[in-house]
Structure 1
Amino acid sequence: MSWTVAVRALCEYTAKRGDLDLRFTPSPTADEGRAGHLVVAGRRPAHYETEVAVSGTWGELTVRGRADGYDTLARRVEEIKTYRGDLDAMRDNHRALHWAQVRIYGWLLCEKLGLDAIELALVYYDIGTQRETVLTEAATASDLKAHFDDHCSRFLAWARAEMAHRAARDAALTALRLPFDDFRSGQRTLAESVYRAAVSGRCLLAQAPTGIGKTIGTLFPLLKACPRAGLDKLYFLTAKSSGRQLALDTLQRLAQAQGAPEDPAVDATAALPLRVIELVAREKSCEHPDKACHGESCPLARGFYDRLPAARHAAVAARRLDRAALRAIALDHGVCPYYLSQELVRWSDVVVGDYNYYFDVSALLPMLGAQNGWRVGVLVDEAHNLPDRARSMYSAELVQTRLDAVRRRAPKPLANALMRVHRRWNALHAAQQESYRAGDTLPADLIAALEQACATIGDYFAEHPQPHDAELERFYFDALHFARLAERFDQHSLFDVTLAPPHAVRGARSKRSTLCVRNVVPAGALRPRMAQAHCVALFSGTLAPSGYYADMLGLPDETVSVDIGSPFSAAQLDVYVTGGISTRYRDREGSLASIADLVGEQFARQPGNYLCFFSSYDYLERAANVFTSRHAHAPVWLQSRTMDEAAQQAFIARFVPDGCGVGFAVLGGAFGEGVDLPGTRLIGTFIATLGLPQVNDVNEQMRERMQQLYGAGFDYTYLIPGLRKVVQAAGRVIRTPEDRGVVYLLDDRFSRADVRALLPAWWRVQTWSVGTRRAGAVALLP
């Protein structure tokens, strides 16, 4: 078995040393870096070669790469690095890495061309000044071979262990067994679909009912397919932390089922040598939030790369690296847990993390995958959340009052650039009378001024090291993000201007506004990420209609779409659509008594735990007040606007087996999905809304654009997203084949054919009429 490694990856493993140093230094964008390489190459003579492919072997190791440039007459190999600002301020570990790379390229060229000596050159190109600084070194082939041998020998010791791990991993995955006797009904179909997608390298869109066991129904077959499909890594991506925990628990259960001893003192992972890592946001894993990420400030950054090898060795031996396990290893070795996790992605088999790690603008996982040539399989959990999450990833806002604050105290060299932005911004909305305005083009003058301001601020930061003004730095990052998304602007985005109310900006003598590059359809941004993976399986209990998700997510034309039949029977769930109740905004006050009495009568008829969902906190609170005043015997607990994670857990903890009470919650909030309450922990839900997004200026603009693009403006903007939340909330009731329950859909619009078409096919929906028998009473007529 052989191991192939890129020159850059080899040197990152063997040549980095010293501190982790993340002090902000403006760096060129990827586009600026490519442009810089072209400028340097354009200055070279005609015989100069670019992107020279080289490779060499050392034992079982194959090292490959592309040298930036080679002067055939001067026999000089060049490694080009773009930067901004003070070259002398470049970190020592970066410079050591660059020299290691050019020396490896030097040897590979000597071997390829039969040279006995070569000149090495590090070419540092300043994006701002367009000046080159060239550092050269003469080297003999024998010296470069010794350098190559040293780095390869150190890496190969690790690579051999990795090859042995890969062989053991693939053997174990080939023999992988389910942790139970057989699949549930419908779960086998899901698993077979995921396996076929992995083997054939395709994209799968799978709608599978809530409660079917989708996590193990997707993880098991994709793990099983890894050896046959040649997958290096599996990414399990979730929208919420509860999804991450479920995936980690499922992987642990799989490991324990592979013949591991029951003795808890024995490592249950021995039978399944699978390295699993959980990626957690920086703000949740930082040990010293009051310190900066460099060795002069944070003790866990000091000497990070010197202590990294021992930490890495301990981490891969542990195999199961959830947040707590990773933290323990990091602190035991005196390194930062967050950046250790990022290093360990390279050596992990399964990565469990949020959507943003793969789909965001500058996501970590696709960047590492492209650099290392990984073949990956991607599982997207609760994929109905991805359109909205992706829209937010590819949207950007700029608030004018923040520019005002920055301008008041900005350093003098930045004054002119910021003033140009200020003037262009004021000119943009000078004639605007309406509070909100949207369009399909960008203001070219303002974008140009913003880009120039970003360049000016970046150069200033490079010439004046930290500390920087916090507001200036924040504006800089916001402006960079805005400008970069402006480059992507197309028919799938809107540009809108929202004027601040006159009374909202204290002391303002002129209009102030917020600008937004607003993504409407994230398909264009997501399509390359879908294509980069060998296979992608997106799954959820609510992925209908499939055409909507194909349009929103940029799925390939050959995507396979499956709708898994429910393992549950209609006899398990009574679904009632109520006539005579309207939850439209204008009718809410009049609906409160009817809803309260309907809930009260169901609770009296069948005591147990229920959840009532409403469209807003205000509606929820008014309904709860009416309910408690009319049915004081029923225990009640409410979701609040300010609930933290502990309060949310306490809310869920009230749903005990065989308990009695009514929880009031907001549809689409923390309790509308991802909550598992099997058996008698929950026996019914009442959903007093269609879940339609609010009708406002932004959503109306999105509706118009959806109509232009797909001829389905109302459905794509309002109806499908709304009913998706309804079905998710109703899905909390039936979680196992033994469960029984009831769902009330409290609005007359649920009787409409277009609404009923978006409800699960296995539901047997019955209609109930609500009429008044006497004051304060409600009669239910089937």
Structure 2
Amino acid sequence: MKDKIIIKESVRGIIEYILKTGSIDDRYMGSTRALEGTIAHQKLQSSNEKAYSNYQKEVKLQQAFEIENVTLIVDGRADGIIIEDSDIYIEEIKSTMKSLVLIDEDYNELHWAQAKFYAYIYAIQNNIELINIRLSYFNIETEEVKSFNKSFSKNDLENFVLSIISEYKKWVILKSNLLTERNESIRKLQFPFESYRKGQKELAVACFNTIKEKAVLFAQAPTGIGKTISTIFPAVKSLGEDRGERIVYLTAKTITRTVAEEAVNRLKNNKLSCRSITVTAKEKICFKDKSSCNPEQCEYAVNYYDKVNDVILSMLKDEDSFTREKIEEYARKEKLCPFELSLDLSLWCDLIICDYNYAFDPRARLKRFFEEDVNKNILLVDEGHNLVDRARNMFSAEIYKERILKSSKLIKGKAPNLYKSLNSINRYLIDIRKEVQESESTSIYKNEEYKDLYKLLRMFLSECDEYLIKATNTEGYDEIRELYFEIRAFISISELYSKEYVTLVEINKNDVKVKLFCVNPSKNLSKIVKGSYSTTIFSATLTPINYYIDLLGGDEKSYRMKLPSPFKKENLKIYGHPLNMRFKQRENNIDNVCNLIYKFKGEEEGNYMVFLPSYLYLNQVYSRYIELFGEENTICQGEVLIETEREEFLNNFKEDTKIIAFCVIGGVFSEGIDLPGRRLIGSVIVGVGFPKISNEGDIIRDYYDEKGFDYAYIYPGINKVMQAAGRVIRTETDKGRILLIDDRYYTLKYRSLLPKEWELTK
């Protein structure tokens, strides 16, 4: 007899798949809803713990259903279970922005359906004939609660649940067939190359064992090892051994997403059967000039939920690689929102390629993967060095006085209460500005919150709700709506405020910026990093590795590995010149820098990149260089480049040209670009990549105390240097040369941070 296939689904997932209907409408839903919903649950649960002597929160419930040769395991968490005397209540909590006056007990069928499913599981497992459901709505702004109670017999609940399972049957059979086919192909799957490169097998084995142990791995794997296939291949093999349910490959840049797609396609060409998807940002994939996700302004939102399941069924039968182009093709043909289609399709995929923010950013996180069943994810985080700054941005928020003042002028005479609310916020920000001015500075920071400001911002949100409903298509509406979501984001981030945060205030003339700055993102990241089935964070530059473990959610239990370069040491020559390139001496050394660049590129003909520490210094050096040596064969990076301009810039680098390109370190050309062979034979790196001295940098320095200067400036700087240097040698046959101009490279500190195989020649 054929072994039973086990498929796991969430209660919420099944209910929404079967019962959700109608159109997409996000007019009153911002990108902060996931975070706000979690906070709403926690507040009401905390209140219930005090109110009831017998109260349990987040109760895990699970039930198996037999469907042909499949065991469907349905699980979820009941928000709360209240036991009062002989009465048992299964509580479902929903957060809302709507006035509770507008919500009655028939407000949303799906909410009752989810609670009924939980109640059924609890009733049959505890042999209860009659059970109560409490549906509680929590208003995020007012923190008011409105609850509805209903009683159900076990028999009624059973009829309801079995009708849902019956509807879901065809999807279960489809999933089981796809799973069987996938696992059979994985068992036969071989590494897609004849042999492993140096270091490649070690990385693949480490990744596989990390997944096996449900652990976290930080891996520094230099260019040339083949990091992408060395992490995806063992992750796919792990899926076939029933470890995790999906692979989520996270990247920071479009080019690394492309490399991941190519690696997956290589495995598919090697007979792997699986479904993969690339999630493209909403603003990039949207068919409309302006993203307005509601049926009145977008034809792709109309009746979306009535159509999408049939389209997904068709796509799953006909396709296995859901690229941006493929998703757009189906979405146009079927008149569906391409972004929402990609999210719904992703539920059926074994491998998801997407940006960091879909996993980590509380305002953009995919709730279906990173809150409800995060422990089913095998997480692969590419170019992990980029996650430090990205994470700080994700968990920070700011508001500006000028935006408040501008909005109050737009609203004057149209909505008196809203105008009054904005004026109150503006006055409070004026008081904050005075506080900064009295310190005789342009900025201050503190470990305290402006809680009275939060109250005023919440009042604005409450008043704005009514305005957004009534004032559609009026002058200034879009600006107010944008401010509304900015303030909601600010309030949402305020709920995460802890000792890892500071409040930073900066003034610029009359404007005031209040920023909730996440100095240490580790605590917030660790919920995903450690909560996943397994996480591997990798990059060519994770030096020093303890710095990244400290900041990216790791701990002393995290595995770590540092692999040497697979390329011959003699293929890369490292030269240095001990010039003082500290900020105060830079301008005095412009001529010296120009002469060193000219001499270095003259020693061997070919294409070179010069990396300068800032755009200002880049322009100063470039202007002087062409004064001294002429403009022929020189190009200079502009400060703002669109995609086509980047491509044009890189197209200058050919095998037989002698281009010298002036770029900024840490910019678009210092990482993620590939110019193999003689397309790039050398780089000149001026300075030590030091980030610009800033308030945020100084706050990081103060926060980390003895390690502060290293964490704020030295380590981020050396990472930029290593990335820029990594452009030169891309393949085993490449040969190249690097010139480091700065006397700090000769200090013990910097020598310890550079690769051991680098021998600095003067």
TM-score, normalised with respect to structure 2: 0.89
Q: Are 2:422 and 1:412 aligned?
A: no
- The answer (yes or no) to whether the contact 2:501–2:517 under 8 Å persists in 1 is yes
Map 1:530-609 onto structure 2 (within 5 A): 530-579=529-578, 581-609=579-607
- Aligned equivalent of 1:478: 486
- Matched-pair contact (CA < 8 Å) for 2:81–2:88: no
Instruction: Tell me if structure 2 keeps the 8 A contact 1:417–1:449.
Output: no
Listed as ranges, the matches of 1:367-386 within 5 Å are 367-372=368-373, 374-386=375-387
Paired position in structure 2 for 1:104: 117
- 1:453 and 2:459 are equivalent in the alignment: yes
- What RMSD, in angstroms, separates the aligned Cα atoms of the two structures? 3.1
Relative to structure 1, the CA distance from residue 465 to residue 95 in structure 2 (aligned partners, 3 Å threshold; closer, same or farther) is: farther
The one of 639, 660, 663 aligned to 2:658 = 660
Structure 2: distance between partners of 1:129 and 1:381: 40
2:716 is aligned with 1:721: yes
1:615-626 paired onto structure 2 within 5 Å: 615-626=613-624
Distance 1:57 1:143, change over 3 A: same
Residues of 1 paired with 2:538 and 2:632: CA distance? 38
What pairs with 1:11-410 in structure 2 (closer than 5 Å)?
11-24=15-28, 29-36=37-44, 55-59=62-66, 60-65=71-76, 68=80, 79-86=92-99, 95-105=108-118, 107-108=120-121, 111-112=124-125, 122-124=135-137, 126=139, 128=142, 130=144, 132=146, 134=148, 144-228=157-241, 230-256=243-269, 258=270, 271-290=271-290, 292-317=292-317, 318-365=319-366, 367-372=368-373, 374-408=375-409, 409=411
Q: Which residue of 2 aligns with 1:762?
A: 757
Distance 1:129 1:459, change over 3 A: farther
SS at match of 1:377: strand
Whether the 8 Å CA contact 1:204–1:536 is kept in 2: the answer is yes
- Contact 1:314/1:329, CA 8 A, preserved across alignment: no
Q: CA-to-partner distance for each residue in 1:711-768, whole Å, 9 max, x for gaps?
A: 122211111111111111011111112111110112222222211221111222211x
What runs of 5+ residues in structure 2 fail to find an aligned partner? none
Deviation at 1:447, TM superposition (A): 3.7
Deviates further, 389-398 or 400-409: 400-409
Q: Given the superposition, is the C-alpha separation of residues 307 and 754 from structure 1 closer, same or farther in structure 2, using an over 3 Å criterion?
A: same
Does structure 1 retain, via aligned residues, the 8 Å contact 2:276–2:321? Answer: yes
Q: Deviations over 1:549-569 (max 9, x none)?
A: 122123122111111011122
Residue 35 of structure 1 and its aligned partner are, at CA, apart by 3.1
**Deviation, structure 1 residue 482:** 2.4
State the distance in 1 between where 2:760 and 2:89 align: 77
- Counterpart-to-counterpart distance in 2, 1:563 and 1:47: 51
SS of the residue aligned with 2:295?
coil
Question: What is the letter of the counterpart of residue 413 of structure 1?
Answer: N
Q: Could you tell me which amino acid in structure 2 is paired with residue 295 of structure 1?
A: P
Q: Deviations over 1:51-95 (max 9, x none)?
A: 776554432323344555578867876645443435687799982
Q: Distance in 1 between matches of 2:118 and 2:449?
A: 45
How many angstroms does 1:281 deviate by? 1.0
Q: Which residue of 2 aligns with 1:440?
A: 446
How big is each residue's C-alpha offset from its partner over 1:394-440, in whole Å with a ceiling of 9 and x where there is no partner?
Answer: 11111111122233326222345444433333333324333433333
Instruction: Assess, with a 3 A threshold, how the Cα gap between structure 1 residues 612 and 97 changes in structure 2: closer, same or farther.
Output: same
1:701 alignment counterpart: 699
How far did 1:232 drift?
Answer: 0.5
Residue 58 of structure 1 aligns to which amino acid in structure 2?
Answer: F
Tell me the CA shift for residue 658 of structure 1. Answer: 3.0
The SS at the match of 2:523 is: helix
- More divergent stretch after superposition (593-602 vs 647-656): 593-602
For structure 1, list consecutive stretches of 5 or more residues without a partner in the other structure: 259-270, 506-511, 768-782
1:112 Cα offset (Å): 4.7
Counterpart code for 2:559 = V
Where does residue 265 of structure 1 map in the other structure?
none
Per-residue CA shift, 1:488-542, capped at 9, x if unaligned? 33333222211222xxx4xxxxxx4211111222112112111111211111111
Matched residues in 1 for 2:442 and 2:388: separation?
24
Tell me the amino acid that sits aligned with residue 627 of structure 1. Answer: Y
> Kindly tell me: are residues 93 and 371 of structure 1, through their superposed partners in 2, closer, same or farther at Cα, counting changes over 3 Å?
farther
Aligned amino acid, residue 146 of structure 2: E
Distance 1:733 1:668 in 2: 15
Q: 1:228 to 1:3 in 2, by over 3 A?
A: closer
Distance in 2, matches of 1:659 and 1:49, equals 71
Q: Does 1:752 align with 2:750?
A: no
Check the 8 A contact 2:442/2:508 in 1, yes or no.
no
SS of the residue 1:694 aligns to: coil
Structure 1 residue 705: Cα displacement: 2.0
Deviation at 1:103, TM superposition (A): 4.2
Distance 1:88 1:63, change over 3 A: farther
| Alpha-carbon distance in structure 2 between the residues aligned to 1:278 and 1:401 | 38
- Aligned-pair identity in percent equals 29
Closer, same or farther in 2 for the Cα pair 1:633/1:497, shift >3 Å?
A: closer
Q: Is 1:435–1:498's contact at 8 Å kept on the other side of the alignment? A: no
Bigger Cα displacement from structure 2, 668-677 vs 535-544 = 535-544
Q: Deviations over 1:659-684 (max 9, x none)?
A: 22111111100010111111111111
What residue identity is the alignment partner of 1:383?
G
Give the structure 2 partner of residue 775 of structure 1: none
Alignment of 1:628-639 (within 5 A): 628-632=626-630, 634-639=632-637
Deviation at 1:646, TM superposition (A): 0.7
Between the aligned partners of 1:47 and 1:416, the Cα distance in structure 2 is: 45
Q: Which residue of 2 aligns with 1:489?
A: 497
Output one character per residue of 1:240-280: Cα deviation in whole Å (capped at 9) or x when no partner.
Answer: 11111111111112221x1xxxxxxxxxxxx2111111111
Contact 2:136 2:145 in 1 (8 A): no
Kindly tell me the number of residue pairs found equivalent between the two proteins.
739
SS in 2 for 1:757: helix
Deviation at 1:374, TM superposition (A): 4.7
Structure 1 counterpart of 2:390, which letter? R
Q: 1:444 to 1:167 in 2, by over 3 A?
A: same
2:10 equivalent among 3, 6, 18: 6
1:295–1:628 CA distance, 2 compared to 1 (3 A): same
Deviation per CA, 1:116-170, whole angstroms, max 9, x where unpaired?
777766554556483636375x766655444322211221221122122223222
Give the structure 2 partner of residue 430 of structure 1.
434
Counterparts of 1:92 and 1:338 in 2: how far apart (Å)?
A: 32
Q: Distance in 1 between matches of 2:531 and 2:196?
A: 31
AA of the residue aligned to 1:400 = K
CA apart distance, 1:177: 1.6
Q: How far apart, CA to CA, are the structure 2 residues paired with 1:291 and 1:701? A: 36
Deviation at 1:457, TM superposition (A): 3.3
For 2:640, the equivalent position in structure 1 comes to 642
Secondary structure at 1:517's aligned position in 2? strand
Larger CA deviation: 731-740 vs 223-232: 223-232
- 621-630 or 115-124, which moves further after superposition? 115-124
Q: What's the secondary structure of 2:517's corresponding residue?
A: strand
Match of 1:774 in 2: none
CA distance in 1, matches of 2:577, 2:462: 62
TM-score (normalizing by structure 1):
0.87
